[in-house]
Amino acid sequence: MSTTLPVELDDIQGLVRFGYKHHTEASFLLLRVSDRDAARRWLATVPVCTAETIEPPPETALQIALTGDGMRALGVADAIVDAFATDFVTGMAGDANRARRLGDVGANDPGQWQWGAGARMPHVVVLLYALPGKLAAFQRAIEAQCAACFERITCLTTSDLDGIEPFGFMDGISQPLVDWQRKRRAKDAERDEYTNLSCLGEYLLGYPNEYGGYTDRPLLDADVVGSRLPHAEEAPERADLGRNGSYLVMRQMRQDVHGFWQFVDRCAGGNAAARDRIANAMVGRDRAGVPLVGPANETIEGGGVPGDLNAFTYRSDPHGVRCPLGAHIRRSNPRNADLPPGRPGIVSWAMRTLGFDAEALDQDLVASTRFHRLLRRGREYGVGVSLAQALAEPTASTETGLHFICLGANIARQFEFVQNAWAMGVHFDGLPNESDPLLGTHLPSADGRPTDGFSIPRDDGADERITGLPQFVTVVGGAYFFLPGIRALRFLATT
């Protein structure tokens, strides 16, 4: 296998490479197949925007992803569908254990979702992106085409809040740098330094991942498939249905902006500076995106240059005095290497790896970051609420929140791990029974102990401990999709 094989940008959906930032308008059509043949015909020919660079950017871009149920509804053989990853096939809301692990209990229970469970499980999501002013006509045209093939569950609208998520913090600052040139040596060898450069195979099936292996995917008989699909790199006699495709995780997360700021304000006794300090601590950045651990002046492979908002790790802040261990961004990307930090040398190495070092024991709960990166592609929805409005009495407000979207080649190792072990994990990094302050349900744990606290370490004594956190974010829909390569999409529609 050569690592210099060109990447087939014309066979990859654009969303893997671009966030479509110029396309400030977007909507997501959640559909169920109503006429199989018509749906297959449409999917076999609909123009899908690829990952090739187009200058100037196209006015509109359309992307397509399918659920496992959707593939079956299109007539794809069970043997093919079942060769995709089990988590994808079972689905986000497909079993109670998964729901529990993801924190989809209580108010997040899939039984109450607006979409993503039961008869409201989408078969297809059509993601529409458009330059300002261009969405409405584009959407009308696509919906007219879809009407003959699909029943519409809903259309998820989005809002351009200027890069600020509804709680008021700048979002979309940190992303892994995908190794499109395939220069990163993919192998399962311990890395001493945090790197932001990430193997292509972490996001696209059919390429080596951070373990140096290929993620399992449906490999078909090339003699039968002919030239309709690319060949598998590691098994050229097999046709690769996964190659150039990615799993797409979508979760609609309603944000209680009033609840968030009013709670923080109460904790701060109405003091504006204290309010900012506590809210920033929960996120791990201030509202302008400046990381609390700063100054951001480290040089990180693939991670920007000193001074930018991503040039940092938590190495200089092991106890969370500047950025709490439980802050949202520290949980969702601990920015560590493969071994817990420690002094160099064989004795230190043995102590850390064998777990004799008390500090390393806490760190053991924080697995190596490079296996758990997410390419985030979410969009906000609803009406933005200013801080002043959030602090005032709630008025009859419309729903606001985040259509969280992330891409990855392995849902279990990437999204589910981050969500379960890091965000929902109540002992993350040795913390005393608390989950992600933004995302947690804060329901008592199985043994009845409260998980509604948030610790802010101090350098001069005991942690400041905030308790009684209500749930600020509620999951109201979600599903696992597969965003196929273009040839794979056409194959699925015609097989």
Give the nearest distance from C-beta 251 to ligand HEM in angstroms: 6
Task: Report the C-alpha dihedral over residues 108, 113, 117, 121, rounded to 10 degrees.
Answer: -130
Give the nearest distance from C-beta 305 to ligand HEM in angstroms: 16
- Can you spell out the DSSP letters for 227-278? GGSPBPSS-TTEEESSTT-EEEEEEEEEE-HHHHHHHHHHHTTT-HHHHHHH
- Can you spell out the DSSP letters for 326-369? TSHHHHH-----SS-S--SSHHHHHHHHHT-SHHHHHHHTS--G
**Torsion sign over Cα 393, 166, 415, 218:** positive
Give the nearest distance from C-beta 291 to ligand HEM in angstroms: 8
Nearer to ligand HEM, 108 or 255 (CB): 255
Residue written as token pair 């908002």: 309
Query: What is the distance in angstroms between the CA of the first residue and the CA of the last residue of the chain?
Result: 29
Give the nearest distance from C-beta 101 to ligand HEM in angstroms: 12
Residues lying near ligand HEM in the complex (CB under 6 A) are found at 165, 167, 169, 171-174, 253, 255, 283, 285, 328-329, 332-333, 374, 401-402, 404, 415, 418-419, 423, 438-439, 473
Nearer to ligand HEM, 296 or 374 (CB): 374
Distance set, CA 278 to CA 29, 253, 284, 454, 478 (Å): 37, 22, 10, 10, 30
Distance set, CA 172 to CA 203, 288, 375, 402, 415 (Å): 17, 12, 10, 12, 16
Nearer to ligand HEM, 88 or 169 (CB): 169
Amino acid in the structure at residue 306 = P
Nearer to ligand HEM, 21 or 36 (CB): 21
- Reported as half-sphere exposure (CB side, CA atoms, 13 A), residue 188 has a value of 7
Nearer to ligand HEM, 60 or 474 (CB): 474
Nearer to ligand HEM, 102 or 135 (CB): 102
Amino acid in the structure at residue 407 = L
Nearest to 377 by CA among 155, 94, 209, 176: 176
Give the pair of three-digit tokens for residue 93: 């809301």
Give the nearest distance from C-beta 37 to ligand HEM in angstroms: 37
Nearer to ligand HEM, 152 or 287 (CB): 287
Give the nearest distance from C-beta 437 to ligand HEM in angstroms: 11
As a whole number of angstroms, the distance between CA 447 and CA 66 comes to 39
Give the nearest distance from C-beta 317 to ligand HEM in angstroms: 14
Nearer to ligand HEM, 8 or 436 (CB): 436
Give the nearest distance from C-beta 366 to ligand HEM in angstroms: 13
